[in-house]
A and B are shown apart, each in its own frame.
Chain A
């Protein structure tokens, strides 16, 4: 067993984990963060995407112990004080989801994409999210959602703060 200390969605945790435990397993099975889902076993689909120290990662390809000392943000911690993140709002407004299974990963990837490129054109969005697969939407409304979110996040529009609000019980 190895010890991992990690902040997830603003809450500190310390746990003993098997060295082979994946971050996504830790989030789901130990912390009950089942909003982050698993869609494949080859790191292709991106359904499990979360932020690790502010960067989007596929949490199926990170060991829990690698997150030691890190800040993890999941889909469950993205909204602040009941206020949805602009990307979440845009996915709703533009019908960027159907079954919703790829959505947590897609939203987390899109947030990171917009951090790197605040005003992506269609091609940049399509290439920016190509590591996240969706089987329902044909991607068109996902692309619209990301571009709508970019508009909503432009200077002048209210942007989210950096530190996530705690959304799960203590450790």
Chain B
């Protein structure tokens, strides 16, 4: 990070985290650690087949197994008509199949639950699950998005009459926010001084792969049913449990205790969670479900999975004149909570940081017989950023320009903010020049270009490529009215409460629900500054609907820019009340009371009261103004007026062995403008982790299905998360152009690294090979894919080499990148 003097305010201080004390000593409470007396354990028996009719189910052997309390189908539980919610109907006529708690009649993806076993121990439930006999008649799987949309295709849900979920379109010409893309393309095609570049990119299917497997415990004893869940969204889960099962909201208490990562993967409302509630009610006993990792990779929602057809037009002088985007997005077999809207979030980001005058975006969502897709870190924005940053490189090649120069020619200059883009968003602030200059200087862009030329000239076996990504994103989901205009099934506000305790300590309640982000530390810093109290005196409470009754939880880089601002608004109300009380006790006019660093003083005197004294006075309530209640406690709900728009310049130096296809990330430099930084230590950690996930998409990860629709790499042996040995240290730093849309000037950082890094890596890989004739390598850019691309570009046959279906090169050091078939032996 940029080195600066230690700030005198808490804002900007690299505080070590409060939450670490319990996490480094094992004093944690993840959901699976919670086992009320008498807890019964669930095991879900899942379909091994992607698409099939269930012809018979024999539960008798399982029911007779040791420790088994019951074996249930959806019919046994009376939940056949219960459907899980999709909260984002992107079009009024969107096709939405009912997503059942357990399949009845037909299974639609491998991993879908059919039967649930309840037993006294988890081991007994699993053992008995193996004894459930289910017969299937296999149906044709539906795997390829384009084939799924063709005439006569097998239908995933025949009653819908189509495999198309919806088509959502935005045309800047029709919307009046820009020109017509059709006209831009026609004009460019007719103009010898213009170019048209068309490319197809693929966003492979990914698995969020949070480290804590999902888990749910439901205790029906007592007046409220208590649900502990490994979820990012306890508040949404409570409301959706009511919507799904009809349990009155006020009779439900949802607790997200310590949650071990989410990355979007824990925003769902799960069939297993609803089964836990239904079974706890039926059996009048606490029940627990914890998935295995293999179950998680198979059945928890996946992410990405798009085909992107892009057309960009430009004048030969480099001025971009239009961008046409056509997406196919794989929904999988059902719709997740916000699944259909994920690709739509990208609609507003394809123009990125560029002054593109005309943009059309069309997205068709498709059903297949695969695991459903939903949010994964970045959700729509990584896909958009990849598309535009890849095609900007392609355009640069077409025009014979340096890719950074072409970007500079087209981006919004810092004098032009606030800038309303071609999709109608207003970017409040930014300085692309500043971030880029710093990144290029750190990276030694010119020096690496020289080295690249030299290595090309001497025909080095290992070639150097330079990958660029100058990204922006929309953070802080979201202004409620904007969400309303997109038919999103909720608002985007966040709630906060501050309670001033009698002892002068401060309890802060937030509706955001941290699962690794460090809210307890960052929000304590914000409150310490706002109220002038010691950092250590602030306690942040969250993740329990009885403690934090109102909230919309954590996703979309929203916790700080929405939740953090709600905390500021609540603090302002506390100060207003304290000022009134101070004026009363100090026998002064409220107008004469000044507040600074926790002290309320009468202007021009040495008379004053500390905020802690006022909290105590309010608690005692022996002497307070007649027109106020004896309390300083305050609530706030903050609804942002705009998104925030972090941006940054990311540069990757990639080395590619042209004989083996082995790709090595030599250096990664990024300069992110995330506005004002509350805690640089935490912000840097978010960038690092985001980079690792984005780089993993480019190099390592893919959820692969075989031709029968079976996930073939559904364990951590072969779904290859990067290990420490697969990644270098990153050179990350920040610059700050404060957001003008919120009082802290913050922008959000949770997703930046993931959004920016994927195209930087792939652009670098291709840049290393461009002179050999390679124009594209699909992700993940494994050794074999790179090797094949080189062979094909050189006109050599690769027929003798089997196509890889796995993602070699990552994880555990067990796979030799020079032997990319190693893992399938």
Contact = CB atoms under 8 A, between A and B. Distances in A.
Contact of A39 (B17, B23, B293): B293
A42 B715 contact: yes
B27 A98 contact: no
Contact of A95 (B17, B210, B721, B812): B17
A31 interface: no
A139 B518 CA distance: 17
A78 interface: yes
Contacts of B685: 95, 98, 136-137, 141
A103 B132 CA distance: 37
Given A41-B294, A75-B26, A142 B724 contact: yes
A127 interface: yes
B553 to A, nearest CB: 15
Interface of B: 16-17, 19-30, 32-33, 123, 209-213, 258-261, 263, 292-294, 515-518, 681-682, 684-686, 688-693, 715-717, 721, 723-727, 729-730, 753, 811-813
Interface of A: 18, 20, 28, 33-42, 44-45, 47, 74-76, 78-79, 84, 88, 91-93, 95, 97-104, 107, 122, 125-127, 129-143
Given A101-B261, A136-B689, A142-B724, A84 B24 contact: yes
A135 B33 contact: no
A41 B296 CA distance: 11
Contacts of A36: 26
Nearest to A34: B33
Contacts, number: 182
Contacts of A37: 28, 30, 32, 212, 260
Given A41-B292, A91-B24, A127-B813, A134 B211 contact: yes
A143 B723 CA distance: 12
Nearest to B259: A99
Contact of B20 (A44, A45, A97, A136): A97
Contact of A137 (B258, B688, B726): B688
A140 B212 contact: no
B681 A95 contact: yes
B716 A140 contact: no
Nearest to A92: B20
Nearest to B682: A95
Contact of A40 (B32, B33, B293, B515): B293
Contact of A130 (B259, B717, B723, B753): B723
B24 A107 contact: yes
8 contacts: A34-B32, A36-B26, A44-B717, A97-B23, A98-B518, A100-B260, A131-B812, A141-B685
A159 B668 CA distance: 36
A94 to B, nearest CB: 9
B111 to A, nearest CB: 15
A18 B273 CA distance: 29
A28 to B, nearest CB: 7
Contacts of A127: 724-725, 813
A1 B502 CA distance: 56
Contacts of B210: 99, 101, 135
Contact of B28 (A34, A129, A134): A34
Given A41-B715, A88-B24, A130 B813 contact: yes
A99 B515 contact: yes
Best-surrounded residue of A33, A39, A99 (most CB of chain B within 10 A): A99
A140 B16 CA distance: 16
Given A99-B261, A135-B261, A138-B730, A143 B516 contact: no
B261 A136 contact: yes
Nearest to A40: B293
A97 to B, nearest CB: 6
A19 to B, nearest CB: 12
Contacts of A93: 16
A45 B212 contact: no
A35 B29 CA distance: 8
Contacts of B715: 40-42, 44
Best-surrounded residue of B26, B29, B690 (most CB of chain A within 10 A): B26
B716 A126 contact: no
Given A97-B23, A99-B212, A101-B260, 15 more contacts: A28-B33, A34-B33, A35-B25, A35-B27, A39-B293, A40-B293, A42-B717, A75-B24, A84-B25, A92-B16, A93-B16, A95-B681, A95-B685, A97-B20, A100-B516
A140 B684 CA distance: 10
A140 B688 CA distance: 7
Given A76-B25, A92-B24, A138 B260 contact: no
A107 B688 CA distance: 19
Contacts of B29: 34
A99 B514 CA distance: 9
Contacts of A136: 211, 261, 516, 685, 689
Given A37-B30, A42-B717, A44-B717, A135 B23 contact: no
B24 A45 contact: no
B724 A126 contact: yes
A39 B22 CA distance: 18
B688 A141 contact: yes
A103 B23 contact: yes
Contacts of A91: 20, 24
Best-surrounded residue of B22, B212, B518 (most CB of chain A within 10 A): B212
Contact of B25 (A28, A78, A102): A78
Contacts of B28: 34-35, 37, 100
A126 B689 contact: no
A143 B724 contact: yes
Contacts of B682: 95
A90 B716 CA distance: 28
B683 to A, nearest CB: 10
A40 B25 contact: no
B212 A101 contact: yes
A104 B261 CA distance: 15
Contacts of A130: 723-726, 812-813
A161 B222 CA distance: 47
A163 B261 CA distance: 33
Nearest to A102: B211
Nearest to A103: B23
Given A40-B716, A44-B715, A101-B261, A138 B23 contact: no
Contacts of B294: 41-42
Query: What 6 A-B pairs have minimum CB-CB distances, sorted nearest first?
Result: A35-B26, A99-B516, A101-B260, A100-B23, A138-B692, A34-B33
Contacts of A95: 16-17, 681-682, 684-685
Contact of A75 (B25, B209, B684, B717): B25
Contact of A88 (B25, B691, B729): B25
A19 B812 CA distance: 29
Nearest to A76: B26
B684 A98 contact: no
B20 A133 contact: no
A93 to B, nearest CB: 6
Contacts of A100: 19-20, 22-24, 28, 258, 260, 516
B213 A39 contact: yes
Contacts of B693: 135
B729 A143 contact: yes
Nearest to B230: A101
B691 A138 contact: yes
Contact of B293 (A42, A129, A134, A141): A42
Contacts of B19: 100
A18 B139 CA distance: 41
Given A78-B25, A126-B725, A138-B688, A133 B213 contact: no
A133 B716 contact: yes
Best-surrounded residue of A18, A88, A97, A98 (most CB of chain B within 10 A): A98
A88 B25 CA distance: 8
B211 A129 contact: no
A63 B683 CA distance: 41
A65 B51 CA distance: 42
A126 B729 CA distance: 10
Contacts of B724: 125-127, 129-130, 132, 134, 139, 142-143
